[in-house]
Structure formats: C-alpha cells, structure tokens
Amino acid sequence: MTKKQLKEVYQLKERFKTESEVFDKRVLLILLGFIKKGILQTVDYPISTGKEANVFMATRPGGGHVAVKIYKMETAPFFRKEEYLDGDPRFADIRHSDREIVKAFARKEFKNLQVCERAGVHAPKPYYITDNVLVMGFLGEGDLPYPTMNMVGPLHGEKDLDSILDDLRKMYRAGLVHADLSEYNVMMGDVPYLIDFGQGVVLRHPHAERFLERDVAIILKYFAKYGVRRDLDKTLKWIRG
C-alpha cells in the first residue's frame, strides 16, 4: 500500500463502520476501490464471520443494501477443496497457490451466481468481484438479513421444498450443481433463497451427479423431519428431466 493509498484509507475510515482491523490491507484497498467507484457508500457490519469467509452488510450510494462476501486468505491452506476446482473446465488453468485457490473459489461463486440469475433461480444477484471480495444482492428485510433455514425451519412446508427443488432443476438445466446444499445455505425470505455457491460445479465435473444426489438427499432428509416427505429417486429423476 502506498502512502497516498494509506492516507485515503484513513480518510475513509469512518466509512468502515465495522472494525477495520478485520480487513487486511489488500481487502481494504479493494473496498476502497469500490467506494471510489461509487459501488459502495459504507461497509456497515458483519452478518457472519465464518471459517472460510466473512459476510458484511454494506450500503450503496443513495441507499439500499448489498452483501459483501470476503473469502479468507489466511485459511487458504485449509481449503482442501481442489476437487471442486480440478474437474471444472472453467478453472482448468488456475495456479494452485493458496491465494489463487481462494480467489478462484470467489470467482467461481460469482460465475455460478451469474448462471443462477440467468436461469431464474432464487439466489443473490451478483454485482462485482475483485480477487477474494464479492459484492452481491442483500437478502433481507430493511437492514436485517433473512434467517437461514436451520434457524427457523421451513416456513411454508411443502411449498418451500417445491421452490428449492424447482431451483435445483433450473440449475441442472443450466448445467450447474450446488454441491454444498444444506439447511445452512438456504435463507428464508418470502421464498427460500439458495446461497454459498463457491463449491458449485458444472455438469461436466466428474462428480457432478454424485454432488447433486448428496444435495437432494440432505434437503429431503431435512424436510422429512418436518413431516414433508419425498422419494429421493423420483425427485432426482424429476430434476434431471
């Protein structure tokens, strides 16, 4: 970081309402870039601080919120997930350094969200990606993020399951499998929204079908706890059309 950039960061420090210590210098510079370009006005508070990523709520110039997902570089060695990259031809040429792997996951999530948007899947709208920092639509009401399904359970039983399966079918038709689906990666608004697409793979991936089976099995098992039962094989057949 140059002196000039550092000065700008300090001048803009009040724009980072959250503790700026949680951002490393590179992330700070990327956020600064977003602010200068008029993409973000302020970075407000952490919605989630996890093992692999932190998610923040941010405000756009003129109001309105977005979610900023920052993949953690320091946990890169624990990203034991090359299998999700290796089989995906879109990422055939990434260098397998720790930083590059993390950046590839962020870019993968962004691309997968673009596929979802085109396919009409209920998922956050992808806005911007720079290195490990992804800006996407905020899923929530006012400035309150929707709860994840594990927190509140299905809100409309059968209808919620139908919506999720319908989204999985749309994704499959668009050539995409989520590969990390569970009640933790569904946010409950008026309808369920799917999130966390970093591990999503294209159908050409050698394990795509196995990942799909796992996704669907996990969701069906979860809904069964609430008395909403579906046959796994029939459901998979339906998704595969």
- Give the footprint of Mg ion on this chain (CB under 5 A): 185, 196
Beta strands in 116-204 (DSSP E): 126-130, 133-137, 140-141, 144-145, 176-177, 186-188, 192-194, 201-202
Query: Is 180 one of the annotated active-site residues of the chain?
Result: yes
Task: Closer to Mg ion by CB, 172 or 197: give it.
Answer: 197
Which position among 31, 40, 85, 139 is part of the footprint of ligand ATP (CB under 6 A)? 139
Residue 52 touching ligand ATP (CB under 6 A): yes
Which position among 37, 38, 50, 143 is part of the footprint of ligand ATP (CB under 6 A)? 50
Token output for 179: 């590969």
- Residue pointed to by tokens 């946010």: 187
55 binds, among Mg ion, ligand ATP, none (CB under 5 to 8 A by kind): ligand ATP
Beta strands in 76-227 (DSSP E): 126-130, 133-137, 140-141, 144-145, 176-177, 186-188, 192-194, 201-202
Residue 124 touching ligand ATP (CB under 6 A): yes
192 binds, among ligand ATP, Mg ion, none (CB under 5 to 8 A by kind): none
Q: 136 and 125 in contact (C-beta within 8 Å)?
A: yes
Start-to-end C-alpha separation, the chain: 52
Query: Is 196 one of the annotated active-site residues of the chain?
Result: yes
Nearest-angstrom CA–CA distance, 88 and 208: 10
Residue 195 touching ligand ATP (CB under 6 A): yes
Residue 140 touching ligand ATP (CB under 6 A): yes
CB of 116 to ligand ATP, least distance (A): 12
Which position among 167, 196, 201, 216 is part of the footprint of ligand ATP (CB under 6 A)? 196
138 binds, among ligand ATP, Mg ion, none (CB under 5 to 8 A by kind): ligand ATP
> Which residue number is nearest to ligand ATP in terms of Cβ?
50
Stretch that binds ligand ATP, among 9-17, 49-57, 158-166, 231-239 (CB under 6 A): 49-57
SS3 12: coil
Token output for 113: 């969200």
Token output for 74: 């320091």
Nearest-angstrom CA–CA distance, 200 and 180: 7
Query: Which residues does the annotation mark as catalytic?
Result: 180, 196
Where does this chain bind ligand ATP (CB under 6 A)? 47-48, 50-53, 55, 67, 69, 124, 136-140, 145, 148, 185, 195-196
